[in-house]
Amino acid sequence: MNNDPKVLTGSPASLAQAATLLATDAAQAEAQARALLKARPNEPAALLILGSARRRQDDPAGAERILAPLARAHPRAANTHYELGATLAALGKPQEAIAALRHATALNPGLPEAWRLLGEQLFRAGEAIAAEAAFAEHLCASVQNPALNPAATALARGLPGEAETALRPYLMAQPNDSEALRLMAEARLRQERNSDAEILLAHALELSPGDDGVRFRYAESLFRQQKAAQAIPLAEHLLRQKPDDPAYLNLLAACLGLIGEDARVSELYERLSAEYPKQPRIWLNFGHALRTVGKSVDAVAAYRRSIALAPGLGDAYWSLANLKVADFSAQDEAAMLSQLSRPDLAQEDRLHLHYALGKAMEDRGDYAPSFEHYRQGARLRRQGMPYDAEENTALTGRSREIYTPSFFAARREAGAASPAPIFVVGLPRSGSTLIEQILASHSAVEGTRELPDIGFLARDLGWMSGNAQQAAYPAGVVLLDGASLTALGQAYLDTTRIHRKTDRPFFIDKMPNNFQHIGLIQLILPNAKIVDVRRHPLGACFSAFKQHFAQGQSFSYDLSDLGRYYRDYVELMAHWDAVLPGRIHRVIYEDLVEDTETIVRRLLDYCALPFEEPCLNFHQNARPVRTVSSEQVRRPIFRGGLNQWRHYEPWLDPLKQALGPALESWREPPISLS
C-alpha cells in the first residue's frame, strides 16, 4: 500500500494542507495531523505527516517511534522509508539510515532528496564511491524537464561528452534555462573545462539565485581555477544555510588553503576528521594541510589513516611518496600492486599508484620497473589532459613577433609603479621553491604561493582561448593603451593582496609558467623583479615527468612534449634577454647547489636587498610551503638530487631528441631577435 499523503483517502483537503505546511510550519502541520488522527487513529498519511513534523521540530526520537512501525506496516511506501531514513540520519544511525534510504530509492528512483541524503550518509560511513554514485543519481532525479532526461542520464552514467551533445541543441533554443545550464556546467566540470563551467554556473545562479546546488558547483568551479577570493563568499553563504554540511566545510577549507589561512584550515579538518572519522578523503586533505605547515609526522599518520580506510585510494599513497620523508616498505609495495590488479580500480587511483610505485622502486634503486611505473602513470594522466605542443610553439613565435624593443619603448611610461612583486619563473621542478624559500627568509620579503593572477589577466586577453573571432594571444596586448596597462598592473596588485599576511614590502609570485607572460609583466609592472630559475634540461624535464601535478603542467606527461616545451622556454627566455637586456636575473640551479652563498648574494643584489644570514639558513624558516618540494626546502641544500636523471638515461632518447640544441646551449642560449 502506498501511503504518500497525496494519494491516500480520508480527508484529502486536510491531508494535502497538512503536507504543504511541513515545509513552512511543522508545528501547525503536526496539529492538523493529530486532529486527523483523532478521527482516524491509524490513517497512514496522517502518521507520516506527524512523524515528519516531529523530525522537522528536532525530535527525531519521537519521529522514529512513529515512522519505524509505519515503515514495517507499509514496506512499499517510498516516502515513508525516506522519512525514516532522514530520521535515522538525524539520530546518528548512518547504517540504518543507509538501509532505509536505499530501500526508498529502489522503490522510487525519482526522489532527489532521498538520493542526496543517501549520498551524505554514505560519505559519513566512508563509502566514497557509493556516495558519488548516489550524488550522481540525485542530479538525475532532480531534473524536472523530461527533455533533459537523456543528458541527466548520461551524466549519471559518467558520460559527460554524451550529455553535452544532448544539451547543445536544447540550449541553442533555450539559452536561459537554468536547469539545462546547470547540467551543461556539470558536463564541463567533469571534463575539467572549469572556466567554461564557471560562466555557465554564474548565468544559472543569476536565473535561480536560491539554488544552493548551483551555488556550490559555481564555488567549486572557481576553486578549481584557484579563484579563492570569489569562491569563499559563496562557501560562507552555503554554510550559513547548513553550518554542518561536510561538503561545504571541505570546500571552505580548500579555498582558505589557497590564500594561506592555515590555522583555519587545520581547525576545519580537525573538526571534519572528528565528525567523519571513516571518510578517507577528509584524512587525505587533512594530511595535505599538515604537510603545508611542516607537520610531516602528523601528515604521514593522516595519509596512513586514509589508506587504512580506503586501500585503493592511490592519491594517499602518492601523497606519502611526495613527502619524501620515508621509504615505502615491501608490504606497502605489495599492497599497491595488489590494488593495481583490481579491474574495477578507478583510473585516477591507478595513475596515482603507478607514480607512487615508481618512487618506491626508485628509492631502492630498481630503475627499470620504476621508469615503467612512471611511464604508465604519465600515460594515464595524458589521456585526460590534452596538450597541443604546436600551439605552445606558436605562442613563442607570436610573442617574439609582437614584443620588440620598439614595442616596449613606446609604452615605457605605462604600468603600475609598485616594485613589490618578485616573479620566480622557469620550469616546474627546477628549483623555484628553493629560490622562494631563500628570498622569503629575508626580513623584507613575503612568500606567498604559485599565484594564478597573471594567467587570469592573460586569459582575459585571449590566452588559451578557443574563440576563432579573437586574435591569438598576445595580440590583444597591442590594443591596450597606457592607462589600460596601468589598470591591469593595479588589478594584479589588488587581487594578490589577499595572499599577503605581513607588512613586508616585497612578495613572491612563484608561478613558474609566468615566463610565457614576461612581456605582459613588463608592460603592467615595469618595476617588478623577475628571476628565472634554470636547471639542466634532462634533470628538470625528467623530474617533471615523474611528478603528478595536482593541476596544470599538461606538457609534462610525455617526454617529447617536455623536451619541446623546454626548448620553447629557453628560446623565449633568450628573446626576453634580447629585448629587455638586464631585466631578468638568471639562477642556474646547479650553480646554487655548488656555491650557495655566492649565488644567494647575487640574487639579493639583483633584488636590491641587503644580505641577511637567514637567507643561507632558509631550511630553518617555518613558513608554510605549498608545493611538492615542501620537505626538501626544509633541509639544507644537498647535491644528491642533481644527477638522479642519469639512472634513467637509457629511456630518455625521446626527450633528448625533442630538446634539440637546447640540450647543449641551455645555460646561455644564443640571443637573437630574428
Beta sheet of 421-426, edge-to-edge order: 445-449, 506-509, 421-426, 529-534, 584-588
**How high is the pLDDT of residue 608?**
97
Confidence of residue 654 (pLDDT cuts 50, 70, 90): very high
In the chain, what percentage of residues exceed pLDDT 70? Answer: 93
442 C-beta neighbours (distance < 10 Å), count? 23
Domain extents in the chain: 5-142, 419-665
**How high is the pLDDT of residue 2?**
44
> Above 70 in pLDDT, residue 5?
no
> Above 80 in pLDDT, residue 193?
yes
What CATH number does domain 5-142 carry, 3.40.50.620, 2.40.420.20, 3.90.950.10, 1.25.40.10?
Answer: 1.25.40.10
**How high is the pLDDT of residue 204?**
95
Which fold is adopted by the domain 419-665?
Rossmann fold (3.40.50)
613-651 residue pLDDT tens: 999 988 876 656 555 554 555 566 766 667 889 999 999
233-280 residue pLDDT tens: 999 999 999 998 888 998 999 999 999 888 899 999 999 999 889 889
363-391 residue pLDDT tens: 999 999 999 999 999 999 998 787 899 99
**How high is the pLDDT of residue 634?**
52
- Reduced to 3 states (helix: H, G, I; strand: E, B; else coil), residue 190 is helix
Confidence of residue 124 (pLDDT cuts 50, 70, 90): confident
User: What is the average per-residue pLDDT within 457-478?
Assistant: 81
**How high is the pLDDT of residue 7?**
38
560-616 residue pLDDT tens: 999 999 999 999 999 999 999 999 999 999 999 999 999 999 999 999 999 999 999
Q: What b/e sequence results for 484-510 when a residue is b if at least 16 CB atoms lie within 10 Å of its CB, and e otherwise?
A: ebbbbbbbbbebbebbebeeeebbbbb
User: What is the average per-residue pLDDT within 192-205?
Assistant: 93
The mean of the pLDDT values for the chain is 90
User: Could you tell me if 673 and 578 are in contact, meaning their C-beta atoms sit under 8 angstroms apart?
Assistant: yes
CA atoms within 13 A on the CB side of 155: 31
Torsion angle, CA of 55/58/59/63, rounded to 10 degrees?
10
| C-alpha to C-alpha distance for 555 and 563, rounded to whole angstroms | 9
User: pTM, whole model, 2 decimals?
Assistant: 0.82
Confidence of residue 3 (pLDDT cuts 50, 70, 90): very low
